[in-house]
Amino acid sequence: MRINDLIMMSVRSLWRRKLRTFLTILGVVIGASSIILMLSLGIAMDANFKEQLQGMQSLTIIEVNPNTWEDPKAPKLDDKAVEAMQKMEGVEMAIPIRSLNATLEFGKYRTSWPVEIRGLSAEEMNVLGYKVAEGNLFGPEDDSSILLGTDIMRQFVKRGQEINWRSPPPPMEFVVGEDVVKIDIGQYTWDNQEPQSDQDGNQIEIPKPSKVTVAGLFGEEDWENSYSCVIPVELFENIQEEQERYNKKLQGEAPQNDRYQDKNKYQNVRVKVADEDHVLSVQQALNDAGYRAYSPMEYLNEMKKASNSIQIMLGGIGAISLIVAAIGITNTMMMSIYERTKEIGVMKVIGAKLTDIKKMFLVEALLIGALGGAVGVCFSYMLSYILNKFGPQIAGEMFSMLGSGGTNVSIIPPWLALAALVFSTVIGLISGYFPARRAMGLSALSAIRTE
């Protein structure tokens, strides 16, 4: 019997029992959509975890700190160490974090206390993915620009005044590309804001402040740079050298806490890895070398383990619905055999092959599974859209407990929809196998005598 004839006979048979067929297909729809939706919640959790971590920091960046506090023999974090990190396999760039504290001045205003100033090159900022909400990042040739964080702009007060945190001042407004800020490395007394004196009571002359133009402002969402500002590396090194000379005059011999700085030129190095697949291997290599390295990728993997457990649980709940649907298909096919016993006997008498009879029932079961799976996929996409649109408002607390802090509650990738469709079809085929075998085993004479 040709496949076209088998399909037409199966369709006619299913159509004659429309209600039963509809209810059986409905069971498959519920089972398929249950699995898709349950797994889509876990997939959305993974995506939201990744989105949250990427919002805080790139997943391909490893933070490297010295371990000399715990182990005096641990390697120092200096230029030689940075050069060695740069040569590691999979590393795109090793970027030392250069940092100092200084006061910013703008006209008659100044920051209420010294702020963190970092030195970065234009290339390093591009590798780290720095972006500004207003203005532009400074270029390779720029040596007198500054990028300001949002919280630093809230710290400017008139000279001699302190910030009233109950009623903090509004953020200082800067004209990007025009306004000039001074970087003052001097140290002042708390009571009268006079320059501090050395240990002998001699007032030390404060170095001339460096003038820089506000090139750009970091956005509100950039929490990493919110309390810091960035200047070109060349300018940073000049200010740092001048600050060291000033502190030496002010403090005399190096204080106790400078021992750590003598051992480690940098307190932190950021290693940019070429792709996410090499992050953990590079991190392990850095830890084995004696440094303390960590990255968002390891947190993401821990989150994935937790979400995988949730996905297995949710997928199991959905699978129960599909198993019930498979039992419904088997029941429908068995009932069909009892109702069509005489028809089966006639087919055997007129010479129909046993394999054709088997194929006829298998095709019917396959059509039920495939049709139910297809409708289930469409229904799942519709429910996913509704969940993403209204779910966070209706059950925001529940989704936040599940870790879905991102934009989507449910994500159905194409592979999941295709897998559900194939799985439903296979389930239908398997469910129809036993009834088909039973139809093959019916005696032709007893089947013809059945009324």
Which amino acid appears at position 166 of this protein? R
Q: What is the pLDDT of residue 260?
A: 41
Instruction: Tell me the residue length of the chain.
Output: 451
Greater model confidence, 138 or 5: 138
- Please report, rounded to a whole number, the percentage of residues in the chain having pLDDT higher than 90: 18
Q: List residues bridging with 180 in a β-sheet.
A: 213
- Among 27-41, 206-220, 264-278, 329-343, the least confident range: 329-343
- Among 95-99, 124-128, 149-153, 325-329, the least confident range: 325-329
pLDDT, tens digit, 9 for 90 and up, residues 164-196: 767 777 788 899 989 999 999 888 776 666 777
Q: What is the pLDDT of residue 17?
A: 80
pLDDT, tens digit, 9 for 90 and up, residues 248-267: 888 765 544 444 444 678 88
pLDDT at 149 over 50: yes
Query: Following CA atoms 414, 418, 420, 425 in sequence, which dihedral angle do they give, to the nearest 10 degrees?
Result: 170
Taking phi first (over 0 means left), then psi (-120 to 50 degrees means alpha), and beta for anything else, what does residue 218 get?
beta
pLDDT at 118 over 90: yes
Q: What is the mean pLDDT of the chain?
A: 80
Q: Report whether 63 contacts 244 (CB < 8 A).
A: no
Q: What is the pLDDT of residue 341?
A: 62
Q: What is the pLDDT of residue 5?
A: 65
- Please report, rounded to a whole number, the percentage of residues in the chain having pLDDT higher than 70: 81
| Average confidence (pLDDT) over 229-253 | 88
pLDDT at 427 over 80: yes
Q: Is 199 exposed, middle or buried (0-12, 13-18, 19+ CB in 10 A)?
A: exposed
| Average confidence (pLDDT) over 362-375 | 86
**Cα 21 from Cα 345, distance rounded (Å):** 23
Confidence of residue 110 (pLDDT cuts 50, 70, 90): confident
Q: How far is CA 218 from CA 61, 147, 175, 227, 281, in A?
A: 20, 7, 14, 10, 32
Residue 44's nearest CA partner among 311, 273, 258 is 311
pLDDT at 278 over 80: yes
Confidence of residue 301 (pLDDT cuts 50, 70, 90): confident
**Cα 443 from Cα 341, distance rounded (Å):** 10
Q: What is the pLDDT of residue 277?
A: 82
Q: What is the pLDDT of residue 254?
A: 53
Q: Give me the residue spans of the domains in the chain.
A: 3-55+301-449, 98-265
pLDDT, tens digit, 9 for 90 and up, residues 381-409: 998 888 888 766 554 444 444 444 456 77
Q: What is the pLDDT of residue 182?
A: 93
Q: What is the pLDDT of residue 123?
A: 92
**Cα 94 from Cα 86, distance rounded (Å):** 5
DSSP 424: H
Confidence of residue 107 (pLDDT cuts 50, 70, 90): confident
Confidence of residue 22 (pLDDT cuts 50, 70, 90): confident
Maximum mean pLDDT: which of 45-59, 268-282, 299-313: 268-282
Q: What is the pLDDT of residue 350?
A: 63
Q: What is the pLDDT of residue 345?
A: 63
**Cα 97 from Cα 15, distance rounded (Å):** 73
